Chains A and B, each alone.
Chain A
Amino acid sequence: MESSSGRSDPEEVCPICLEPPKREAYLDHCFHSFCYHCIVQWSKFVKKKSYQEEPSIKCPLCKAENLSIVHSFDGESFLRFYFNGDSRNSFFTSSHGYRLQCYSCELDDIHETPLWSQTRESSYYSFKNVRLISHLYRGIMLFIQEEDVGIIVHHVHGVIEAFFRSNKGDNTTLNPEKRREMFRALLIDAAWPFLHARTERFADELELFLASGLNIDAYDEVYMHHLENYSSSEASGHVAPIAEKMQEARLRWSASVSETRMKEITLDDGCCGLEQALIDPWIVSSS
């Protein structure tokens, strides 16, 4: 039976292992396809043999020069592996690399956690957040995989700020869900020309970040915990209690802030669904 289905149509097998491609990947210039593992292994082998940092490799099939491998295509978006991608001297740090991994995994599981359902109601989309800009910088840099993204960050940040400002006056006219939708639509409009199919995911990440009320380091820590727990407990069907982790992180951060600072902060009604005492004072509300 195998001979009929596995009949090697050269278009359907990886030319390196001769099996149907696993994690199908393409070269960016000629678009010949391979298993991700096979073509990465070959590119590393060629690099090692040539003893020099070639920014490109020849396609094993057609000898066209290619700069990167396009992989993890999910119908909308994809990732790239650059042959000159020596992480030590590129602008990506290891934490960038980690985030990139986070972006390439499914977010669904995070949306289903108590964290998301708890904070979803809070009006994070209505108030200025001083940490937003650093999150934007990193997010856009990783999604576009370029270093010089300042102008895009300012554009998106400006759009968000304008939304926060315009919201101040008429808090009561729209219900929170409507406003959240407006916020998201605005965000997607602003980022779409640069991020294309990855915009939705970018918006998910941004909303989650804002909703968490954490700063980047604390947020990463929680995110990481969640992903690790998720992957290790996947088999047992146990979902990591991310909300608890969020609270722990909040406690750590709030403990480091002086009492006076705490008092200065005015909290709008329903600004955060979690205990007010635990709220990280670094969220500066619009008042």
Chain B
Amino acid sequence: MQASRARLFKEYKEVQREKSADPDIQLVCDDSNIFKWTALIKGPSETPYEGGVFQLAFSIPEQYPLLPPQVRFLTKIFHPNVHFKTGEICLDILKNAWSPAWTLQSVCRAIIALMAHPEPDSPLNCDSGNLLRSGDIRGYQSMARMYTRLAAIPKKG
């Protein structure tokens, strides 16, 4: 418990210090609860998520960093490894392959990498996975782009 607080506080300081280091990630800690964080990540370029800003919710267990944080998308996203309704993410490092050397910042980077390189063989979103597995890259891309426009790009005017 104490160890997780100390470590999260350390990460918080690091995030404040390195604010401009990674312009694609903006991590914010809940003012009243250091175990709740929110992140805004930019959709990687040359993907259907380009131009979108996606919100992630972090819920950190008391045994962190022995246990991984729970992360889900708050912004709707069409991606084979993200549950379309709940935003749950299927990513090995958030489950079995977790290591305490990961930080909230590096988890965000891993999620951005997952957005650019979907794993259609372990889908949480079967529609999206099936499009990719059947080789319909165009179909997947246009669906993903549509949802990015609908949910992740701020409406003008």
Do A and B belong to a common assembly? yes
11 contacts between A and B (CB under 8 A): A3-B17, A15-B100, A17-B10, A18-B7, A18-B10, A18-B103, A19-B6, A19-B10, A41-B66, A42-B100, A45-B66
A61-B101 contact, Cβ under 8 Å, with A8-B14, A17-B6: yes
Give the shortest distance, in Å, between A6 (CB) and chain B (any CB).
9
Nearest B-chain residue to A32, judged by Cβ: B101
A60 in the interface (beta carbon within 8 A): yes
Please report the C-alpha to C-alpha distance between residue A58 and residue B98 in the assembled complex, in whole angstroms: 11
Contact B14 A17, beta carbon cutoff 8 Å: no
A18-B66 contact, Cβ under 8 Å, with A3-B17, A60-B101, A61-B101: no
* B-chain residues with CB within 8 Å of residue A18 when the two chains form the complex: 7, 10-11, 14, 103
Please report the C-alpha to C-alpha distance between residue A19 and residue B10 in the assembled complex, in whole angstroms: 8
Give the shortest distance, in Å, between B3 (CB) and chain A (any CB).
7
A100 in the interface (beta carbon within 8 A): no
A16 in the interface (beta carbon within 8 A): yes
Give the shortest distance, in Å, between B41 (CB) and chain A (any CB).
22
Q: A18-B10, A18-B11, A45-B66 are in contact. List 7 more A-B contacts (CB 8 A).
A: A3-B17, A16-B65, A16-B101, A18-B103, A19-B6, A60-B100, A61-B101
Nearest A-chain residue to B6, judged by Cβ: A17
Nearest B-chain residue to A17, judged by Cβ: B7
Max chain A Cβ within 10 angstroms of own Cβ: one of B7, B66, B100, B103: B100
Interface residue ranges of A12-38 to B (CB < 8 Å): 15-19, 38
* Interface residues on chain B, number (Cβ under 8 Å): 14
Nearest A-chain residue to B63, judged by Cβ: A45
Please report the C-alpha to C-alpha distance between residue A217 and residue B78 in the assembled complex, in whole angstroms: 72
Nearest A-chain residue to B18, judged by Cβ: A8
Please report the C-alpha to C-alpha distance between residue A112 and residue B22 in the assembled complex, in whole angstroms: 57
Interface residue ranges of B7-22 to A (CB < 8 Å): 7, 10-11, 14, 17
* B-chain residues with CB within 8 Å of residue A60 when the two chains form the complex: 99-101
* A-chain residues with CB within 8 Å of residue B65 when the two chains form the complex: 16
Residues on A facing B (Cβ under 8 Å): 3, 8, 15-19, 38, 41-42, 45, 58, 60-61, 63
Contact B100 A16, beta carbon cutoff 8 Å: yes
Give the shortest distance, in Å, between B84 (CB) and chain A (any CB).
30
Give the shortest distance, in Å, between A7 (CB) and chain B (any CB).
8
Please report the C-alpha to C-alpha distance between residue A17 and residue B65 in the assembled complex, in whole angstroms: 8
Please report the C-alpha to C-alpha distance between residue A53 and residue B94 in the assembled complex, in whole angstroms: 24
Max chain B Cβ within 10 angstroms of own Cβ: one of A16, A18, A42: A18
Give the shortest distance, in Å, between A39 (CB) and chain B (any CB).
9
Please report the C-alpha to C-alpha distance between residue A61 and residue B103 in the assembled complex, in whole angstroms: 12
Contact B99 A17, beta carbon cutoff 8 Å: no
Max chain A Cβ within 10 angstroms of own Cβ: one of B6, B7, B11, B66: B66
Please report the C-alpha to C-alpha distance between residue A8 and residue B11 in the assembled complex, in whole angstroms: 11
* B-chain residues with CB within 8 Å of residue A3 when the two chains form the complex: 17
* A-chain residues with CB within 8 Å of residue B17 when the two chains form the complex: 3
* B-chain residues with CB within 8 Å of residue A16 when the two chains form the complex: 7, 65, 100-101
Please report the C-alpha to C-alpha distance between residue A3 and residue B66 in the assembled complex, in whole angstroms: 26
Give the shortest distance, in Å, between B1 (CB) and chain A (any CB).
13
Contact A42 B14, beta carbon cutoff 8 Å: no
Contact A15 B101, beta carbon cutoff 8 Å: yes
Give the shortest distance, in Å, between B32 (CB) and chain A (any CB).
23
Please report the C-alpha to C-alpha distance between residue A14 and residue B10 in the assembled complex, in whole angstroms: 12
Task: Type the 1/0 row for B85-117, where 1 means its CB is closer than 8 Å to any CB of A.
Answer: 000000000000001110100000000000000
Contact A17 B3, beta carbon cutoff 8 Å: yes
Give the shortest distance, in Å, between A36 (CB) and chain B (any CB).
14
